[in-house]
Structure 1
Amino acid sequence: MALWMDDHAHPKTESEQADLDAIAALKESAAIELKEQGNQYVKMGKKYYSDAIDCYTRAINQKILSDSDSSILFSNRAHVNFLLGNYRRALTDAEDAIRLCSTNVKAYYRAAKAAFSLGLLLEATSFCRKGLEVLPTNEDMKKLLKQIELKIEEDENRKAQVSKALGAAKDIVCALEIRHLKMGKAVYQELTGVRKPKLENNILHWPVLLLYAEVMSSDFIEDFCEVDTFSAHLDMMYSEGPPLPWDKECFYIRAAIELYYEAESGFLLSNKEVLRHMLEGTPGALTEPFEEEQDGDSSHNSSSPSGPRKWVKVDERKTLHDVLKKDNYIIPGIPVFYIVSTRSQFYKEFQSGKWTPP
C-alpha cells in the first residue's frame, strides 16, 4: 500500500497513486484546518497565542501546502511570536515566509516590525522598502518606515552628541595632564551640581566655589579663566552691592578678607575616573568609552589628615593656574577656596587648623 511506501519511491500502480493522492488530500485538509484553527486562537486573545503557534507549526510540518500558502503560515506564526515578544523568532518566521513567497507583503511588514523591535534598523528599513516595491500603496508600511527613519535620525544625532561630549571631555583631561593638575573626588556637589571646566582656545575656564568658612555660606565665580588673577575677581566681587546679609559687623570687606585652600587633602582620581567625571551630565554620561587602565593610571587615595588641617593662603596676585598647579593641591571636582576675615574672632581658630569643614 502507498501508506508504507518510501518518501522517495514512485507509485507503480494506479492504486498506489490513488492512495498517495488521498493521503495528500488528507494532509492538505488537515493543514488548512490547523491554519483556520490557529487564526481562531489568535482572535481569542493572548491566553490562546501558544495554541495558535502550535496549530501553525503543525500545519507547516504537514509539508503539503504550496509555497504561497506555506508563506502565509510562517507569516501568521511570525505575527503571534511578535505579539508574545519573541522578536527573534518572529523575524526568522517572517524571513522564511519571504523566501517562500517574495510577494507576501504582510511578511515584509512583520519582518520589519520584528527587526525594528530588535534594534536592527537597517534591516527593518530594507524590509519596508522591499514590501513597498511589492505594494507601493501600503499605508501601514509607509508609516512604519517613517518611524524607523526617525529612529535612525535620532540615533545618529545621539551618536553625534555623545561623540562631541566625549571629545570635549578628553580634551579637558588632556589639558589637565599637560598642566600637571591633580583632580580629586568632587566635594560639595549639593552646591556645585555638575559644574565642570571648559576648554576654549586651549585655555581652561573653571567654575570656582568660594566658601565663607565661618558660616559655611557659599558664592560662585562661574567663569574663572585660568590666566586671571584672584585679585581681579575679588576686587569685582567686593566693589559691588551691599554687605553680605549675615555679616552684621561688616568684617568681610575687601581689605580684610583672605583666601585659603586645604592642602594635601582629597582623593586623587585616575585619568579614567576624571574622564567619567567630565562626562557627567552630558549625552556621553552613560557610555563606557574607557580602555583598561594602564600602569600608573590608577587612583591614589589621599585622605584628609587626621591632625590639624593645613590651610595655605592664596597669593591674590597669582593666577588661578599658578595655584592649581601647586604640588599640594588636589582639585576637588572644581576649585574650592575658603574666605576668612582677619577682623573676625573666627580667624584665629581657622589658622590654628582646628576648624573642620562640616
Structure 2
Amino acid sequence: MDGASENPGNLPGVRAGEGEEEEEDVSHLNEGVTLKYSENVEDLLAYLKSHPMFMTKEPTVEDIDNNPLLQGIQALKYDQDNPLEYSEELKEEGNDLFKKKKYREAIVSYSEAIKQVESLPELDHPSKDFLAVLYTNRAAAQYYLGNRRSAMLDATNALKHKPDHLKALQRLCLCFFELEYYEDCIKTCTVALAVSKDGIKIKSWKDDAGKKLKLKQRNERKEQLKQQKIKNVQTAIQSRGVKVKTKWPDESFAPVPSLDTALGVLSWPVTFFYPEYLECDFIESFEESCSFYEQLLMMFDTKAPWDTNDSHTIDNLIVYYEDFTETPPKPVPLERPKIPLKDALTKQQVVDDYHLSYFVLPKNNSKLNELFSSNFSKFKLKFKEKLHSK
C-alpha cells in the first residue's frame, strides 16, 4: 500500500482521497491576542514577555500565581505517575532554591512535594519519615522569611510524622523561644536533649528560655498589680460621681492619681494657672481632703517671684474650674475657697484628664476676671503656647 491516496488518522490540511495539501485556517488560534492587543503595541509586547515561551528570567511565586499559563505548566510538571519519585525531585529542587536563599520559591517546591506524598492512599513508615523531612525543610524556609508561626506549625507537623526528628525539634525550640512561648520551649528542649547526642546548643537554649520565663512571669505579675491599682483608682473616682473624659495615660509620660487604700483617700496631680502673669505651678499630689485654701496658703506663704503687682495673696484669690458639661467649656468660680478638692470634683462632675487644671485670679481685679471669662479659650491657647515653648 503506497498511502498516496489515503490520509491515516485524518491529518489536517489533507483531504481524504486527494494528494494535494490545503492550507489550514489557523486564525482562530490567535483570536484572543488579536482582538485584545491589535490596537496597543505596548500591551502586546507586555503580553509576550509574560508568555512562558518568551520569558527571559525564572518566574517568581507571584508570577506563577498571576499567570494561568505558568500555573498550567506547573501542574503538568508535577502530574506524574509516581508521586514519591517526583516528590523527591521536588525536594531536591527546594533544597537547591533554599541554598540560593530563594526561600519563597523553595516553599512552593516543598509544598508541592508534601501534596504529592499526602495524596498517597496509605503512608508507610518511610513515607512518614520523608514527610517529616519535607515539613522540616519548609519550616526552615518559613523561618528565614521571618514567618515564625508558620515555621512553628510546619515543625509541629513534622513531629507528628516522626516524633524524634531532631532538626524539627531544634527548629521548634527556636520558634517557641522567639515567639516568647518559653514554657513550650523548655519542654521541647527537654525532648530534644533526649534525642541529641550533642546537646550543648539545646541546653543553652533551655537555660536562656528558663531565664526569660522568670523575667516574663515577674513582668506579668508587675503588670497585673499595676492594672489592679489603676482599676482601684478608677473605681474610687467613679464612686465620687466624677467622669474622666480621657483614657488612662502612659504613666511614663503623664502624672496620674493615686489611692491610699488604707485610708481610702485619693490624691490628684494638679496644675494651677495664673492668667494675670501666664505662670503656673504643678502639684504632684493634691489630697482630695485638702482644701484649695490650705493648698494655696502653702504656695503663697511667701511672695511669688513673678507677682510684681503683689496681687496673689491668700485672701485675694479666686479659683476657677473648667465646666465640661457645657459646650464649649466655660470657667466657673468656686463659691468657697475653703472647699475640699473632693467636694469641688463632685460639683464639677466631668474632668478632661486625670491631671486636673484650675485657674487662679486676684479678686480685686474685676476687669481681668471679666476678660478671662469672656476670652477663656484665648487664655488657654496662650498657656498652651507658652508651655510648648519651654
Shorter-chain TM-score: which interval?
A: 0.5 to 0.7
Q: Which runs of 5+ in 2 are unaligned?
A: 1-81, 379-390
Aligned ranges for residues 138-149 of structure 1 at < 5 Å? 138-149=199-210
SS of aligned partner of 2:314: coil
- CA shift in 2, pair 1:207/1:105, >3 Å: same
Pairing 1:322–2:343 present:
yes
The equivalent residue for 1:39 is 95
- CA shift in 2, pair 1:195/1:34, >3 Å: closer
Shift of 1:130: 0.6
Aligned ranges for residues 5-24 of structure 1 at < 5 Å? none
Q: Is the 8 A contact 2:273 2:280 kept in 1?
A: yes
The equivalent residue for 1:237 is 299
Q: Is the 8 A contact 2:361 2:369 kept in 1?
A: no
Distance 1:52 1:36 in 2: 9
2:190 to 125, 129, 132: 129
- CA shift in 2, pair 1:83/1:324, >3 Å: same
1:303 to 314, 327, 330: 327
Give TM-score scaled by structure 2 length: 0.61
Pairing 1:209–2:271 present:
yes
Q: Is the 8 A contact 1:52 1:80 kept in 2?
A: no
Distance 2:335 2:185 in 1: 62
Pairing 1:109–2:170 present:
yes
* Bigger mean CA offset, 106-115 vs 93-102: 93-102
Question: How many residue pairs get matched?
Answer: 284
Pairing 1:49–2:106 present:
yes
| Deviation string, structure 1 residues 109-158 (Cα, Å, up to 9, x no partner) | 11233444555544333222210122264233233334444443444334
Q: Is the 8 A contact 2:110 2:138 kept in 1?
A: yes
Q: Is the 8 A contact 1:211 1:336 kept in 2?
A: yes
Q: Is the 8 A contact 1:184 1:266 kept in 2?
A: no
- CA shift in 2, pair 1:235/1:356, >3 Å: same
- CA shift in 2, pair 1:77/1:56, >3 Å: farther
| Deviation string, structure 1 residues 222-265 (Cα, Å, up to 9, x no partner) | 2111112222222211124x5332x3222223342222324xx2
- CA shift in 2, pair 1:43/1:329, >3 Å: closer
Shift of 1:203: 0.6
- CA shift in 2, pair 1:231/1:134, >3 Å: same
| Deviation string, structure 1 residues 247-306 (Cα, Å, up to 9, x no partner) | 3222223342222324xx215xxxxxxxxxxxxxxxxxxxxxxxxxxxxxxxxxx4236x
Give TM-score scaled by structure 1 length: 0.66
| Deviation string, structure 1 residues 130-188 (Cα, Å, up to 9, x no partner) | 101222642332333344444434443343233222211221122123323x22436xx
Normalized per residue, the structure richer in helix is 2
Q: Is the 8 A contact 1:71 1:97 kept in 2?
A: yes
1:338 to 359, 368, 371: 359
Aligned ranges for residues 1-358 of structure 1 at < 5 Å? 35-46=91-102, 48-50=105-107, 52-53=109-110, 56-57=113-114, 60=117, 65=126, 68=129, 70-116=131-177, 120-135=181-196, 137-180=198-241, 182-185=242-245, 194-200=254-260, 201=262, 202-240=264-302, 242-245=303-306, 247-262=307-322, 265-266=323-324, 302-304=326-328, 309=330, 311-326=332-347, 328-333=348-353, 334-344=355-365, 346-350=367-371, 353-358=373-378
Distance 1:313 1:167 in 2: 34
Shift of 1:206: 1.3
Shift of 1:217: 2.1
Q: Is the 8 A contact 1:34 1:58 kept in 2?
A: no
Q: Is the 8 A contact 1:183 1:331 kept in 2?
A: yes
Over alpha carbons, which structure has the higher Rg? 2
One-letter code aligned to 2:106? Y
Distance 1:71 1:332 in 2: 60
Higher relative contact order (CA 8 A, sep 6+): 1
Q: Which runs of 5+ in 1 are unaligned?
A: 1-25, 268-301
Distance 1:80 1:348 in 2: 72
Q: What is the aligned-residue identity percentage?
A: 22
One-letter code aligned to 1:163? Q
Distance 2:112 2:236 in 1: 66
Distance 1:212 1:132 in 2: 70
Q: Is the 8 A contact 2:95 2:106 kept in 1?
A: no
Distance 1:221 1:335 in 2: 10
Shift of 1:70: 4.9
Q: Is the 8 A contact 1:78 1:91 kept in 2?
A: yes
Distance 1:93 1:74 in 2: 5
Distance 1:348 1:116 in 2: 64
* Bigger mean CA offset, 48-57 vs 152-161: 48-57
- CA shift in 2, pair 1:106/1:258, >3 Å: same
One-letter code aligned to 1:173? Q
What's the Cα RMSD here?
Answer: 3.4
One-letter code aligned to 1:45? K
Q: Is the 8 A contact 1:261 1:314 kept in 2?
A: no
Q: Is the 8 A contact 2:94 2:107 kept in 1?
A: no
